[in-house]
Amino acid sequence: MQQSFGKYATLTALVDQETAQQLMPEYASFQVTTGKVGSMDLKKVISSVETAAKRNGIINGEVYRETHALYHAIIEAAEGVTRGKLSVGEIMRTVGLTFSIVRGRPYTEDAEGEWIAVCFYGTIGAPIKGKEHETLGLGINHI
């Protein structure tokens, strides 16, 4: 059985870590970091998450395996944000996002090992304040 660490990651990005812990206290042992990024450049969104994950010890940046797992989780979350078109500025839109990264053992079986979740929540829209709506994305991978 899988524990809902993706829900935990989403509540953290959507509301805040405190609320996530109150609603789901059993995830206290999971590693969590959060950040914010606003850009028309998807590359900058991706590198913001990677930098936050490395600086806060969520992944070991020296190991490609961990970089690879995180990268694909970020891309999957970005698919939700961009909804079928993995582009932002190229198609004249901009994003303002809060993100959370959560790492831990969501399965009760030891052999399932560690997994990573990335959640983005924020706005997407025209590059003009207010001409935007909310957007959300969640990516999950084994690490």
The residues of the shown chain that bind a copy of itself, judged by CB under 8 A, are 1-2, 4-7, 10-11, 14-15, 19, 23, 42-43, 46-47, 50, 60, 62-65, 67-69, 71-72, 75-76, 78-81, 83-87, 89-93, 106-107, 109, 111-113, 115, 117, 119, 121, 123, 125-126, 130-142
Q: Shortest distance, CB of residue 130 to a copy of itself, whole angstroms?
A: 6
Question: Which is closer to a copy of itself, CB of 101 or CB of 117?
Answer: 117
Residue 130, Cβ density class (10 Å: 0-12 exposed, 13-18 middle, ≥19 buried): exposed
Burial class (CB in 10 A: 0-12, 13-18, 19+), 89: middle
* Nearest-approach distance from CB 28 to a copy of itself, in angstroms: 18
Q: Minimum distance from CB of 14 to a copy of itself (Å)?
A: 6
Q: For residues 82 and 114, is the Cβ–Cβ distance under 8 A? A: no
Question: In DSSP terms, which residues pair with 116 in a beta bridge?
Answer: 103, 141
